[in-house]
Amino acid sequence: MSTRAGFVALIGEPNAGKSTLLNRMVGAKVSIVTHKVQTTRARIRGVAMEGESQIVFVDTPGLFQPRRRLDRAMVAAAWGGAADADVVVLMIEAHRGLSEGVGRILEGLADVGKGRTIALAINKIDRVEAPVLLGLAEKLNAEFDFAETFMISAEKGHGVDTLRQWLAGQVPEGPWLYPEDQIADLPMRMIAAEMTREKLTLRLHQELPYQLTVETENWEERKDGSARVDQIIYVSRDGHKGIVLGNKGETIKSVSQSARAELTEFLGRKVHLFLQVKVREKWQEEAERYSEMGLNFKDGNA
């Protein structure tokens, strides 16, 4: 039997469940999952095996109306991920249906979708009744000629195996792109930074998570098999530093503990994590910060 390998881009509005689906497909946590929108910044690649096929998933940032440079760079990364993929899966939340944002994405797909297989995945199917689901699927297929439609629950796993099996048959014939046991092509330093950022996003509220970024400054392998990881949390204002640190350092301590526990589990060995908070008022205007996130600074130009 010949091998297959290819790229599958997951696109959709923020919070459509793309990261949850990616993590379930891959069988490990490689992408940030929170209840907050716009948490995925870089195009995160997760690698899933299905029979003789290797499916390389690109979890793109949610597509939304950009306001700031960072927003614009994220949206450009999302469309870039779709344009580079062999197959594109548009994810839509069943209970939100054909929203204005989804309408804009369908317009964009008219260009990006040329010569590409585009599938529709209606997610969170447990939130609506069957007749509503069927009506929505009909409506969306009338708007765009999808190759296939899937009804799934990324969180509970319903329909995910069927989608993965179908994708395995859609990617082109060819050699595998990554070793069989590799689940992500992100550098470990970036995965570690994303884990800490997720903990901060869950702990903090309102706009602050989008005003900060995390970078792994140093990664030291120790003789006893453990790793020392030093990270910097950049915030744009002095007041934000106080919020991240918390009363008597409680917030940063809690974030550090949960990020360290997750990183230890992910690596399967002991991790010593050290976090520092620094104020950089203009970090969202610094090219270096963008390359650390896997984004193109120039894409943020208005």
Nearest of 68, 19, 24 to residue 39 by alpha carbon: 19
Q: Where in the chain is the domain with CATH 3.30.300.20?
A: 188-300
What class, spelled out in words, does domain 188-300 have in CATH?
A: alpha beta
Q: Where in the chain is the domain with CATH 3.40.50.300?
A: 4-170
Res 100: pLDDT: 86
More confident residue, 294 or 115: 115
What distance in Å separates the CA atoms of residue 260 and residue 250, rounded to the nearest whole number? 15
Least confident span in 24-38, 119-133, 158-172, 236-250: 24-38
Q: For a pLDDT cut of 90, what percent of the chain falls above it?
A: 33
What distance in Å separates the CA atoms of residue 216 and residue 214, rounded to the nearest whole number? 7
What distance in Å separates the CA atoms of residue 263 and residue 193, rounded to the nearest whole number? 10
pLDDT 10s digits, 67-104: 666 666 665 665 566 667 888 899 999 998 888 888 88
What is the model's pTM? 0.63
User: What's the CATH fold of domain 4-170?
Assistant: Rossmann fold (3.40.50)
> Strands of 212-221's sheet, edge to edge?
212-221, 227-235, 271-279
What distance in Å separates the CA atoms of residue 205 and residue 81, rounded to the nearest whole number? 29
Res 201: pLDDT: 84
Rounded to the nearest 5°, which phi and psi values hold at 194? -65, -35
